[in-house]
Amino acid sequence: MPASTWLVGQAAYVARFGHGEWTDLTDTDGSGQPDGDMVAAAVADTTADVSRYLRQAGYGALVGQAEGVPEDLRRRALDILRYLLHRNRPSDEVRERYRDAVAWFDALVAGDVVLYGADGQPLPRRVDEPNRAHRAVGNTRRMVYGADFLRRYG
């Protein structure tokens, strides 16, 4: 099974973090070959998590597209994949980059981060997507309500 999807995979990982790290993390039995099941699971988990964030943020149109994925998005997705591939032994740097990536995706969902296309223009968002989270900001704390809740009580 190839370790590649529309978002992250072996080629993107090796370009970002190097072939040596890829081999160290994926050759679990010392055969010189990646553990296909482990890699496929990590890639699938990363892709599912990022797809969920994109849909919630109103960028569902990007899900599954091989072309036009913003590099800042791919970079954060690779940080998540890297964390998952480290399994039980992530370094402090890997753990921190993972936390930063999750915080960035949370900010994307909250509307505090905008994705830009290759032309430098903001990518269109759909604010009416079913999983879109909306923010209600009070004086001292932030509460997040789903679109269905807001329609019922808005």
1 located within any domain: no
Tell me the backbone φ, ψ of residue 144, rounded to 5 degrees. -115, 125
5 located within any domain: no
Which tens digits make up the pLDDT trace of 121-132?
999 998 765 544
**Residue 94: Cβ-neighbour burial (10 angstroms; 0-12, 13-18, 19+):** middle
Total number of domains in the chain = 1
Assigned token pair, 66 = 């091989």
The predicted structure's pLDDT at residue 151: 53
23 located within any domain: yes
Distance separating alpha carbons of residues 144 and 122, to the nearest angstrom: 24
- Are residues 86 and 42 in contact, defined by beta-carbon separation less than 8 angstroms? no
3 located within any domain: no
Q: E-assigned strands of the chain?
A: 133-137, 142-146
Paired with 136 in beta bridges are 143
144 located within any domain: yes
Q: Model confidence at 3, in pLDDT bands (50, 70, 90)? A: very low
Which tens digits make up the pLDDT trace of 50-93?
999 999 999 999 998 878 899 999 999 999 999 999 988 899 99
38 located within any domain: yes
The predicted structure's pLDDT at residue 153: 52
47 located within any domain: yes
Domain containing 81: what range? Answer: 10-153
The predicted structure's pLDDT at residue 40: 92
140 located within any domain: yes
